[in-house]
Amino acid sequence: MKKYEYKFVEVPKKSGIKGHGNTFTECQNIIMEEAQNGWRLKQVVVPFNEKTGVYGAWCYQIIFEREVLQ
């Protein structure tokens, strides 16, 4: 049976005019870099904000997966 390992990378959302668009570019760069290291993108999640009770993009969680070779 195949086994997998997972890696979680949190990318804080940049706010303000200077930060506009930079978070998306940072996510793209992280995904491309991790792909070069053998990780496969599994999912990008916008976490639930437990303080306010709503979904809000204060950060993005990027989840990677790769097979564990035995």
pLDDT 10s digits, 11-35: 988 765 554 568 888 999 999 999 9
Asked whether the CA dihedral 26, 9, 62, 13 is positive or negative, the reply is negative
Q: What is the DSSP string of the chain?
A: --EEEEEEEEEEPP-STTTTTHHHHHHHHHHHHHHHTT-EEEEEE--EETTTTEE--SEEEEEEEEEEP-
Could you say which DSSP state residue 58 is in?
S
Q: Which two tokens stand for residue 52?
A: 């306010």
Q: What is the pLDDT of residues 44-67, one digit of tens each?
A: 998 877 666 666 667 899 999 999
| Residue spans per domain, the chain | 3-68
